[in-house]
Amino acid sequence: GDRQLEVKNNHGWCPTFNNLTNLTLDRWCMHADLYAMIVFLQNSPNLKKLTLKLNEPRYHNEVVSAVIGELEDRSFTCEQLEIVEIICSKGNELLLLGLNQFLLEESGIRPDQMRVSHQN
């Protein structure tokens, strides 16, 4: 099983980052439901650049570390957001597909704002 930090209807763990303009998130924020990533985005109103590193999953005692939770509202508006850079390492193609779908279809990010690069 996965090692999971579950946060129930309590966004107190994530303050609002008013001054944050450049955010880099690692694989642990991008579990299947993208929970942690969305909460960060919901709390970063002035974000200009988002970098997502789809690297090797982190293991702790042989289980994947991840932050999961239930979100009633998965929407976020980062009105200042100019670019989303995704760095995808081998083996994360499915996650990349899900991420693309979420960002483009659910979040209104335009294709010309996305940069995807692949690493071996």
pTM of the model: 0.78
**Neighbouring C-beta atoms of residue 50, cutoff 10 Å:** 24
Task: Indicate the domain borders of the chain.
Answer: 25-118
pLDDT tens by residue, 10-21? 555 678 889 999
Report which of 98, 94, 24, 27 is spatially closest to residue 59, judged by C-alpha positions: 27
* pLDDT > 90? residue 112: yes
Longest alpha-carbon distance in the chain? 40
* pLDDT > 90? residue 51: yes
Contacts of 58 by beta carbon, 8 Å cutoff, 6+ apart: 26, 27, 28, 64, 65
